[in-house]
Amino acid sequence: MLAFRTEIRNTPNQQTIKIYLMDVALDKSIKKLLKTLDGVNNIEIQESLARNRVEENITIFRKKDVNINELKSNIDKILNDYFTIS
C-alpha cells in the first residue's frame, strides 16, 4: 500500500488538496515540510469523516490564483521524494 494519497477536493469556498498518510504520526512533520511551499496559504490537520480512510488528513488551502493541479503535482513530488529517502 502507498505511504500517501492526495486528492483535489471541492469545498463551498474553494478547492483544497487533501493528503492521507498511512502513518498519521507523520502528519505534523509533513505539515511543517509543506508549509514553506510556494502557493500554500494554510495547512490544517483535520479529522477524516469518510469511511475507509485514515482517521486524519492534511488539508492544504492554496493562495489565490495558484493553479491547483500544479500545486498538487508539486506536493506529490515532494512527498514521493520524502518517502523514497525515508
Going by C-beta distance under 8 Å and a sequence separation of 6 or more, which residues neighbour residue 36?
none
Half-sphere exposure of 45 (CA within 13 A, CB side): 15
Question: Quick check: is 17 in a domain?
Answer: yes
Question: For the chain, what is the total number of helices (H) and then of strands (E)?
Answer: 2, 4
Give the C-alpha separation, 55 to 72, whole Å.
Answer: 21
User: Is residue 69 included in any domain, yes or no?
Assistant: no
Q: What domain range includes position 8?
A: 4-63
Structural domain contains residue 51 = yes
β-pair type (56-62, 4-10): unpaired
Q: What is the pLDDT of residues 1-15, one digit of tens each?
A: 689 999 999 988 899
- pLDDT digit string (tens) for 15-66? 999 999 999 899 999 999 999 999 999 999 998 876 666 789 999 999 999 9
What strand order describes the sheet that includes 4-10? Answer: 4-10, 15-21, 56-62, 40-47
Q: Based on the structure, what is the number of domains in the chain?
A: 1
